[in-house]
Amino acid sequence: MSSKRPANGRRALREIVNAFDNAIVRVYCRGRFIILHQRFLEEIGQYLPDSGPILDIGCGFGLFSLYYARQAPARRITGVDLSASRIDAAQRAAARLGITNVEYRVGNATEFHPPGGLACAYMLDIIHHIDRASAGRLLDELYDALAPGGILVVKDVTTRPTYKRWFTWLLDKGMDMRAPVDYWPKHELEARLRQSGFIVHSHAMLDVLPYPHQLYVCRKRPKGG
């Protein structure tokens, strides 16, 4: 578990956003950091190990992988996303920032097979965009891919309270009307994670905006555990 709380986090966020050469991407990134702001990044980041191989599934433009890689240079983060253009943007931003402990590849979360020996993996707002059968398969494979005692961090949207769920649904559809949206009730996602073998702890991530964020911190059982 990471103990780092760097004082220059806000500056790092600004520099990461400014590293993208496309103005539309920069606007998107600023909006993404408004929704999932620095306090949330640190709340999630405390569960990431300070070193070792880490997988970011659905990395998009690489916002979070760039931030977490910069905060702990001994981390080796691999970002995977189905959009080749987003992967290209992430690679260019990493090169511009001189961040060498990240790499990016094109891959679909519904078909991706994670490599073994992972210290950690994380998915931020990905589960509700893939079908449940594929999500279950991915969780099973992530359990197998993690080293004993490894961590999976899942941040996603739950279904209660109802007004927060509808607020988030409108935003999801506003960004892409064609994107599938299937929010899991908290108890159902917890049960599916446990079915994969994880020890699960979860808590709400409270925000001034009406998003029903839920954080699931999942540990693979250690050897002999």
- Interval 168-217: pLDDT, tens: 888 778 767 778 899 999 999 999 999 999 999 999 988 777 889 999 99
Report if residue 169 sits inside a domain. Answer: yes
Residue 200 lies in a domain: yes
Q: What is d(CA 42, CA 44) in angstroms, rounded to the nearest whole number?
A: 5
The span from the first CA to the last CA of the chain, in angstroms, equals 19
Angle between helices 9-18 and 63-71 (to 10 degrees): 140
Distances (CA, A) of 223 to 7, 147, 174: 37, 9, 45
Neighbours of 73 (CB within 10 A): 12
Q: State how far the Cα of 205 lies from the Cα of 211, in Å rounded to an integer.
A: 9
Tens-place pLDDT, residues 126-170: 999 999 999 999 999 999 999 999 999 999 999 999 988 888 888
Q: Report the distance separating Cα 80 and Cα 176, nearest Å.
A: 20
The pLDDT value given to residue 187: 97
**Domain for residue 28, yes or no?**
yes
Contact criterion met (CB below 8 Å) for 143 and 173: no
Residue 176: domain span: 9-219
Counting residues of the chain whose pLDDT is more than 90, the rounded percentage is 65
- Residue 3: pLDDT band by 50, 70, 90 thresholds? very low
Task: Confirm whether 178 is domain-assigned.
Answer: yes
**Amino acid letter, residue 74:** A
pLDDT at 7: 41
Checking phi first, is residue 60 left (phi over 0); if not, alpha (psi -120 to 50) or beta?
left
Angle made by CA atoms 48, 38, 35, in degrees to the nearest 5? 110
The CATH number of the domain holding residue 22 is 3.40.50.150
Return the closest-CA partner of residue 143 out of 108, 190, 193.
193
Q: What pLDDT does 36 receive?
A: 58
pLDDT at 35: 59
Residues 6+ away with beta carbon under 8 Å from 153 = 44, 47, 48, 120, 121, 122, 123, 215, 216, 217, 218
pLDDT at 4 > cutoff 60: no
Given a cut of 70, whether residue 225 has pLDDT beyond it is no
The answer to whether position 1 is within a domain reads no
Evaluate whether residue 198 is within a structural domain: yes
Band (pLDDT 50/70/90 cuts) for residue 31 is: confident
- Indicate the number of domains in the chain: 1
Q: What's the pLDDT score for residue 37? A: 62
Each residue's pLDDT tens digit, 39-89:
788 899 999 999 999 999 999 999 999 999 999 999 999 999 999 999 999
The secondary structure of 168-189, three-state, reads HHHHHHHHCCCCCCCCCCHHHH
Considering the domain boundaries, does residue 224 fall inside one? no
Single out the residue of 77, 81, 121 nearest to residue 103, CA to CA. Answer: 77
Residue 2 domain flag: no
